Structure formats: C-alpha cells, structure tokens
Amino acid sequence: MDAPKVKSSRLKFKGEKHKRKREHTGNDERPRKMRKEDSDHADEDWVQPENPLELRGPTFIYHPSDPLPCTMTYNATTGKLVISNLDESDEPILARTPSDVSQVWVLTRAAGSPTINIRTGTGEGKFLSSDAHGLCSADRDARGPQEEWTPVVLPDGMVAFQNVYEKYLSIDEVAGGAVVLRADSDEVGFRERFWVKIQFKYKKEAHEEEKQKTLKDTEPVSLDEVASNKTFQAWGMGRSVVSAADKKELKRAKKEGRLAEAMLDRRAKLKSDRFC
C-alpha cells in the first residue's frame, strides 16, 4: 500500500501572528495597487520582488530545473552549502514557497548600496561568498568583497546575481550527476536565472522608503529668511536685518528659479556691510 502523501504547508516563523483577510466589497473604488497592498497579502506572505531595492529580509531562492525545481540550502550540522530538490507538488512554479527553514536566506544591504549580502537563516549566520575561480561557499562570519552580490531583476521577473568579479551565480551539474552552485558565468542564461520570493512586509517597507524619498526630493525650498539671517547674517548682538524690500526680492527670485543665487548675493552683501 502506498504511503499517504504529505501535504506541504506554508512555512511559518516563530512569533508570526495569523492575520485575517478583509473581504472586498463591490463599491471599493480604490486603485488596484492600493487594494492589494492593504488586504490581499499578510505581512509574512511570500511575494516576488519587482526591483532590486525590494530584495531584503528572509528570502527564498530557487531554480526552475527539471524534473524538480531546486533550491540552495544550508546544512547547519555540516556547515555546507547544498543544492536540494523541492518537494513534489502540483502547484505552479511561481506558487512555490519554502517548506524548511534551511531554504530561507536573509538578505541585507548597506543604506544606498546596490549590492546585497546573502546570509544563512539558520545556524550561526554565515555569508554566501564566491572566489575568483567561481567556487561558492557559506562558511564566513564576516562580510567582504567576495560576499557582495548585485541582484539584477530580469524582465520576466526572475533574478540573476552578479559577484564582485562580474560573474553570475548559476547551478552546474558536475561528474556523477551532483548539482552545485557556482559563480563563473559571463552571461545570463537558463542556469543563471532564479525565482526569488521575499516576505510582503519587506516589499511594503521598500515601497514606503521610496515614497518618502520621492516626497523629500520634490518638497519645495523653504523660504525661512529670518532663520537664515540668524544663522548666517546676524549683526551685533544677534540683530536680524530683514526689510520688506528684501522679502519681496527673494520671493521674486524664487518664482524665477534663482533663489539660491539671490540668497548668496544677499549673504555676500550683508557680510560686507556689517564690517563697514
């Protein structure tokens, strides 16, 4: 008699709370993107990144190999990097999620950096690295150039990873049929393309950061002449000199797009006047 088939379920992390999904109503007129962010996903759901900046936090990296997709895992007992097949499933390839914590890696990056570090999610936290010959390992506690990877999100949503030597991460079949991870490919082909899943809360976090950055970049220049005077142009005893004509001139300069130039001219004039 065949053994009963074990149904794989979504991997849950310690401390995660179940979140009920809100039912949609027919009169929900909000944009589709906003509806999806608000209610279609719980924070711990696994989703695809849309751009490299979203690659952060717990991450599932797998390859659509045949006959079974495979993923890179870390064996905490042996301290080795291993390529293992995913469980058999009727789910579409894009619906696959990790079924064991060894399949989860943690992606981090320095603020403003295009490169990421890929750290094991189990054990003592080792970083994925590659040397000049393309050999990959996960046995280093510290981060250096060999532990840096540049993610490239391809048009079809798959992701390629480039190392410091400008070579791409790939899976490779060696003698005996074993599959290993290498990083010595010059171009992106089938072996260098991976599906990547991140948790939704980190994708949402990246969107919020980008939104705040955009708002900051588009904020109008504040015309606080009094504060500027106190800082740069105060006379003896901190006396501020701001006339109606000064304000009028600066407002006109702001409309004409030469506010910075006008402020510099005024500052130079006051600096000269105060020592006359």
pLDDT over 80 at 125, yes or no? yes
* Residue range 163-187: mean pLDDT, rounded: 92
Prior bond of 49 cis (ω within 30°): no
3-state SS class at 168: strand
pLDDT of residue 35: 42
CA distance 38 to 22: 9
Q: Are strands 46-47 and 159-162 parallel, antiparallel or unpaired?
A: unpaired
Positive or negative: CA dihedral 204, 209, 212, 213: negative
- Give the tokens for residue 217: 């970049």
pLDDT of residue 249: 83
Q: Are strands 168-173 and 179-185 parallel, antiparallel or unpaired?
A: antiparallel
Better pLDDT: 153 or 30: 153
Would you place residue 49 in the very low, low, confident or very high pLDDT band (cuts 50, 70, 90)?
Answer: very high
**If you write DSSP's letter for every residue of 140-200 in order, what string do you get?**
ESS--GGG-BEEEE-TTS-EEEE-TTS-EEEEEE-TTS-EEEEEEESS--GGG-BEEEEEH
pLDDT of residue 173: 87
Provide the β-strand partners of residue 75: 80
pLDDT of residue 267: 72
* Residue range 163-177: mean pLDDT, rounded: 91
pLDDT of residue 78: 86
Instruction: Identify the structural domains of the chain with CATH numbers, from first to last.
Output: 32-215 (2.80.10.50), 225-273 (no CATH)
